[in-house]
Structure 1
Amino acid sequence: MYDIVILQKQWIKGLSVRTTNEMEQTNERKIAPLWQQFFTQQLCGGHAPVIGLYSDYEKDENGAYLFTAGQLVDQQLAQDAKEIPGSTYARFQTRKGPIEEVVFETWQQIWSWDQRYLRTYTGDF
């Protein structure tokens, strides 16, 4: 299930790694260890939501992309932060459950949705 929302430009600051969906299906995956590093270093603080941002796509879901584990920050703190462009987004809702299961299920919904609608590959979070 999803709805369409219009969001203003935002910034996220955290840890980033370049990876592919193919790599994330192997023992060489990078996203799960990045989340562990993010929480181990206690980089999350304050009341801002913790999010994962997929950006800087090489082409589409079959190419490399940058994954950032971080928190939204104010524009004043945006130095060295990744910009999430202001745009119209499809916002998908998930069930509560183990994070790896829920994220995978949601990506399956997005990939199915992507077959019916135009996806820009500018940023997913």
Structure 2
Amino acid sequence: MFFVISSIRTNNFTDEKMIEKIKAVWQEAQAKLSDNTGCVYGVYNHYQNDYRGDYTLSIAVDHPIEHFTTTIEPNPIDNYYVFEVDDNHEDKIYQTWQYIWGLEQDRKLFRAYDVDFEKYHPDGRVEIYISLLS
């Protein structure tokens, strides 16, 4: 279960302000978190259709924090494929997403479009969890 700190709705391909929105939602969340928060998550859900459509991005943690009561619960039967990001730099994360989209276009990855998430570890590691069709 994820406890939501802040959220936005956007589209990777048609929203001209997508990058600004994503940066703003992360800045808002970081201002509300302490240095000992633990893992922080970028949670993607409420997909319009596939990666070309609108979606909601929420910044969240995996434990209750005062005032953060909205939750997102992944489907317990979802299977996830985990992509490790080589470096937590913004470009590497975007490159990993492009790789994921390419696998999907090549019909090598079959996404459920339920709840996907980026997991940001305190040590700087980043993993992207993609929900798969059963």
Q: What TM-score, normalized by structure 2, do the two folds share? A: 0.71
In 2, the alpha carbon distance for the partners of 1:51 and 1:14 equals 10
Q: What residue is the counterpart of 1:17 in the other structure?
A: 8
Residue 124 (structure 1) aligned with residue 116 (structure 2): yes
The code of the aligned residue for 2:91 comes to: E
Residue 81 (structure 1) aligned with residue 71 (structure 2): yes
Q: Deviation per CA, 1:54-107, whole angstroms, max 9, x where unpaired?
A: 101011111110000121126xx9842111222210100111242x20211110
Q: Deviation per CA, 1:99-124, whole angstroms, max 9, x where unpaired?
A: x2021111012112223132110011
Percent identity reads 26
Match of 2:57 among 30, 46, 67: 67
| Displacement of 1:45 | 6.0
Q: What residue is the counterpart of 1:7 in the other structure?
A: none
Q: Secondary structure, in 3 states, of the residue corresponding to 2:23?
A: helix
Q: Secondary structure, in 3 states, of the residue corresponding to 1:84?
A: coil
Contact kept, 8 Å, 1:59 with 1:121, in 2: the verdict is yes
